Structure 1
């Protein structure tokens, strides 16, 4: 949990706030009119946050770049992973909404 402090008070106590962040491991949120304005975090915390962001970005980019998958790929994957069921357009589920034996 972060310690919140108004910007006017933070100006007067900046040296103390820096010590609390660096040596006390605290996170300080500076507010203006009760709304978060900036946060003081240790350099180590900042490095961790940036490393997390860097790890996430390539995943988002690669998923966005995938695009459409050819339908022949789905057939190959079905055999590769042993998927036993497939969607058959216009099929009737019957009682209980299930296809196959025991439905």
Structure 2
């Protein structure tokens, strides 16, 4: 559980809060109007968080990369084979 403190109080006690985080192993959440703003965590905790990464973000990045590769391959195929025609479904007219 993290220790919560209002931002106005945190300003006055910053040095003490840093010591609590670094030497006491605590996590401090600074709040404004009762809502969390920021968290003070040790550098070791931050490294662990960074190492975890965000699997959802990585999934999106790999999906976007796959779409770009497919689109690029499609354009390359058209240019390579000189294909200038495009299939249009029934009922569509050329404009």
Superposition deviation, residue 51 in structure 1 = 1.2
3-state secondary structure, aligned to 1:61: helix
- Name the count of aligned residue pairs: 65
Matching residue of 1:43: 43
Q: Which residue of 1 aligns with 2:18?
A: 18
Q: Structure 1 regions of 5+ residues with no counterpart?
A: 68-103
The offset of 1:39, in angstroms, is 0.7
Q: How far apart in 2 are the matches of 1:50 and 1:35?
A: 24
CA drift of 1:60 comes to 4.2
Q: Unaligned regions of 5+ residues in structure 2, if any? A: 68-95
CA distance in structure 1 between the partners assigned to 2:61 and 2:14 by the alignment: 39
Q: TM-score by structure 2 length?
A: 0.60
TM-score, scaled relative to structure 1: 0.55
Kindly report the root-mean-square deviation, in angstroms, between the aligned alpha carbons of the 2 structures: 1.8
Greater relative contact order (Cα < 8 A, sep 6+): 2
Instruction: Name the CA distance, whole Å, in 2 between partners of 1:38 and 1:58.
Output: 24
1:28 corresponds in structure 2 to 28
Q: Which 4+ stretches in 1 moved above 2 angstroms?
A: 56-62, 64-67
